[in-house]
Amino acid sequence: MGKQKNPRRVAENEAMAVSRMLRVSPQKLNLVAAMIRGKKVDKALADLTFSKKRIAEDVRKCLESAIANAENNHGLDVDNLIVAEAYVGKNLVLKRGRPRARGRFGRILKPFSQLTIKVRQVEEQA
């Protein structure tokens, strides 16, 4: 009598990976996520490798993790994977400050984000 297995949160032909606590604003991270949405994974990895954005390396790591999950945990074919979804969420915000003129206080917000990437296996078009 074991514990019941949790149902899958994604479809049978999908796998996903989540990166939390990425030190970048969600708006900037979404620019990089939009760059890979809907692309084949090898093309998306190439785009992220040569991107000039600082956060592109962390997005690439998350995508590689999703690909590894698809291959090892769900038995999907890596050559037929596309980036089905890549969406960004807010996370914690560090609130810092700096003294300003006339006794005022300038707020400095240091936001964190989280990134979710889902990859899907598509049938090969002949």
Residues 21-66 have pLDDT tens digits of 999 999 999 999 999 999 999 999 999 999 999 999 999 999 999 9
Domain membership of residue 60 (yes or no) is: yes
What residue ranges in the chain does DSSP mark as E strands? 14-22, 81-99, 105-121
Domain membership of residue 8 (yes or no) is: no
Q: Nearest to residue 55, comparing CAs of 19, 90, 81, 85?
A: 19
Average pLDDT over all residues of the chain: 94
Q: Nearest to residue 117, comparing CAs of 52, 62, 69?
A: 62
Number of domains the chain contains? 1
Query: Residue 55 has what pLDDT?
Result: 97
Domain membership of residue 104 (yes or no) is: yes
Domain membership of residue 7 (yes or no) is: no
Domain holding 21, by residue range, is 14-121
103: domain CATH number is 3.90.470.10
